[in-house]
Amino acid sequence: MAVQASPLKGSGNLQRRKAVGTIARGAFFLATMFGLVILAILLIDIISDGYTWVDRDFFTALPSRFPERAGIKVALMGTLWVMGLTALITFPVGVGASIYLQEFAPRNRITAIIETNIANLAGVPSIVYGLLGLGVFVEIMRMGRSVIAGSLTLSLLVLPIVIIASQEALKAVPDSIRQGGLALGATRLQVVRSHVLPSAMPGILTGTILALSRAIGETAPLIVVGAVAFLTFTPEGLDSQFSVMPIMIYNWTARPQEDFHSLAAGGIIVLLAVLLAMNMTAILLRNHFQNKQIQ
Amino acid sequence: MTATPTARRATDTETVRSLNGSETIMSVEDLKVYYGNFLAVTDTSMNVPEKRITSLIGPSGCGKSTVLKTFNRMNDLVAVARVEGRVNYYDKNIYDPDVDPVAVRARIGMVFQRPNPFPKSIYDNVAWGAKINGYKGNMDELVERSLIQAALWDEVKDKLKESGLSLSGGQQQRLCIARTIATQPDVILMDEPCSALDPISTLRIEDLMRELVEDYPIIIVTHNMQQAARVSDITAFMTLTEGRSGTLAEMGPTDEIFTSPRDPRTEDYITGKVG
C-alpha cells in the first residue's frame, strides 16, 4: 500500500541555484549597508566635531566674527520661518492641484501634457527656481529680500514633488471606493473629501514631508533671492530679511579659522535635529490618519 | 438610430406584463452603447417591472454589465462610453440633458461585483449615503433598520464602530446592500453581487434578495445561470451579434426562459452547448 516515494533530491542544478541565491542576498545586503555606513561615519564625524559647540549660547548668540561668540539663532529662526511658510503654501496648493489632476481633470492630452511637465519641473535645478524667485517675487512683485519671497521660491521648488507624490497617493486609492460613493448619489467632491482624501492622506503627508526635507537644505535659490549669512536680527514678519541654516553653515565652513569649521559641524547637528523633528511629526501624523482609518 | 422593435420582442413585453401584473418602473428603448468606436450593446429594449427580480444573463462580453450601468448612469464614469436610445425611469429618460446623474444615482442604487465598503466604521458605511442625501431623521434608527433589512444586524450590532473592512467578504457585501438600502432607493442594481463570495454567503445574499424584492425592484447581472433560475422572476438573455456587439435575445418569465426558450440561442446557452 505504500506509495513508492521518489527520492527527495533537488532537480538538476539545485546546489548552483542556492549558491546564486546566497550571493545575491549578500550583494543586496551590501547595497543596503553602503549608504548606511557612510551616513553613520558622517554623523559620527560631525557630532564629534561639533557637539562641544552646541550649548545654550549657540542657540542665543547672533553671528559674530569670533567663533566663540557666534551662534545659530538668526539662521535657525530664519529656517523655521521659511519652512513654516513654505509648508503652509505648499500643502494646500500641492494637494489641491493633485486632487484636480487625479479626480476632476478630464483624461485628455492637455491633462497628460500638464502632468508630464510637472514631472519635468521636479527635475529643474534649484538655482533656476532661485532666479525665477528673484525675477518674479523680489523684483516684479517688489517683495524684496524677504522671508515671503524666499518661502514662495522654495514653494515653487517643492510643489512639483508634492503634487506628484500626492497624485500617486490618490491613484493608490481603489476606484471601487469612488464608484461605491458615486453610486449612492454623492458628488465627486463628497467622495473625494469623505473617502479618497482620508485614504490617501498618509501618502500625501509622507510625500509632503520628503519635499520639505529637500527644501530645508536648499542654499542656492535662497542666496539668489537674497538671504544673507550675516544678520543680527531674527525675522519679525513676512517682509523681514532673513538667513537660513545652510547658508550660515556654508559661510562658516568658508572661513579660514579652524574653530568656525567645528562651529559649522554644530550648525549641521542643529539642522539635522530640525529635519528629524519634521520627519517625526510627519510619521506621527501619518500614523494618526492610518489608525483613524482602520479603527 | 434604427428603431427595430420586432414582433417577438413586443410579445415578450406583453407576456411579462400580463404574467406578472406588475407596472414597469424602468425601461430601455433601442439602447446602443459605444466604447469609443466599438459598439458594445445594440438594438436592446426591455421593460423592468416593479417588485420583481429581473436577471440579466448571457455569455461573457455580451454587455450585461454595460446595460446595467446605463440604469444609473455609472457608464458616465467611463470617458469613452456613449449611450444612444432611451433609458426610462417611469416616463423620464434619465439621459435627457436636464437630468443630473448624481440625482439618478440617489434614486437607483447599485451593489458591485466585489464588496467595496468604505474604509470607515460599519455605522458610517451605512449612514454616509443617507447623510449626504440629506436624511434628517434618526440616523441610529436608520442604520439599525438598514442593517436588519440587509440581514447583518445580529452579526455587527456589538461592533458598529469597527471598520467595515474587518468583516468577511459576504458580510461586506451585505454591508454594501445595507448602505444602498439606507438611501431608500427606488431600484437596486446588482452587478454579479456574489461572484466574489463563497457558496454559503451566496445563498444568504440570494435569500436576502427575495426579502428585499418585497420593497425594491432588483435588477441583477449574473454569470451563474442557477442563480438566475433560483432568484429571479424575469430573465433577460443577452447574446452577441455577428459584429461582437451585445444584444438582448429574449426576455420573459424565468421559468419559461429556462424550460421553453423561444430563441435557439437561449436554448443553446442554457443547455450548455455554448457560452
User: The domain spanning residue B61 has which CATH number?
Assistant: 3.40.50.300
User: Grid coordinates in use for A76?
Assistant: 535657525
CA-based nearest distance B174→chain A, Å: 14
Q: How many domains in chain A? A: 1
In a domain, B120, yes or no: yes
Does a structural domain hold residue A88? yes
Q: Is residue A225 part of a domain?
A: yes
Sheet with B234-240, side-by-side order of all strands: B92-93, B81-89, B24-35, B38-49, B246-253, B234-240, B53-57, B218-221, B187-191, B108-111
* Confidence label for B15 from pLDDT (cuts 50, 70 and 90): very low
Chain A residues close to B163, C-beta within 8 Å: 293-295
Would residue B1 count as lying in a domain? no
Return the SS3 of A207.
helix
Pick B105's closest partner by Cβ from A177, A182, A294.
Answer: A182
Min Cα–Cα distance to chain B from A290, Å: 10
pLDDT digits (tens, 9 = 90+) for A107-149: 889 999 999 999 999 999 999 999 999 999 999 999 989 999 9
Judge whether A8 lies within some domain.
Answer: no
Q: Structurally, how many domains does chain B consist of?
A: 1
Domain that holds residue B83: 7-270
Hey, what's the cell of A34?
Answer: 553602503
Q: How far apart are CA A118 and CA A290, in angstroms?
A: 28
CATH code, domain with A133 = 1.10.3720.10
pLDDT of residue B174: 95
> Over 90: is that where the pLDDT of A10 sits?
no
| pLDDT of A212 strictly over 60 | yes
Q: Is the pLDDT of residue B161 over 90?
A: yes
Give residues with Cβ within 8 angstroms of B132, minimum separation 6.
Answer: A184, A185, A186, A190, A194
Considering only residues A159 and B23, tell me which one the structure prediction assigns the higher pLDDT.
Answer: A159
Question: Is A56 part of any domain?
Answer: no
**Residues of chain A contacting residue B121, judged by C-beta atoms under 8 Å apart:** 295
Percent of chain B at pLDDT exceeding 90: 76
Domain span including residue A130:
65-294
B120 vs A174: CB contact, 8 Å cut-off?
no
In a domain, B124, yes or no: yes
Rounded to the nearest angstrom, the gap between the alpha carbon of residue B83 and the centroid of all alpha carbons in its chain is 18
pLDDT of residue B274: 63
| Residue bearing the bigger pLDDT, A96 or A4 | A96
Residues B77-97 have a mean pLDDT of 92
- The mean of the pLDDT values for chain A is 90
Residue type, B57: I
Looking at per-residue pLDDT, the higher value among B228 and B17 belongs to: B228
Residue A268 confidence (pLDDT): 93
Give the distance from residue B150's alpha carbon to the nearest chain A alpha carbon, in angstroms: 16
* B260 phi and psi angles, rounded to 5 deg: -140, 70
**A contacts of B118 (beta carbons < 8 Å):** 177, 180-181, 194-195
Could you say which of A179, A184, A198 has the minimum Cβ distance to residue B183? Answer: A184
- Comparing A50 with B179, the larger pLDDT belongs to B179
Measure the CA–CA gap between B225 and B222, rounded to whole angstroms. 7
User: Quick check: A183 and B179 CB within 8 A?
Assistant: no
Site from B35, B89, B105, B114 to mutate, A interface, most A CB atoms within 10 angstroms: B105
Q: What pLDDT is attached to residue A239?
A: 87
| Contact status of B74 with chain A (Cβ, < 8 Å) | yes
* Arithmetic mean of pLDDT over chain B: 89
Q: A81 lies in a domain? A: yes
Residue B275 inside a domain? The answer is no
pTM of the entire predicted model: 0.84
pLDDT of residue B272: 80
Q: What is the pLDDT of residue B18?
A: 44
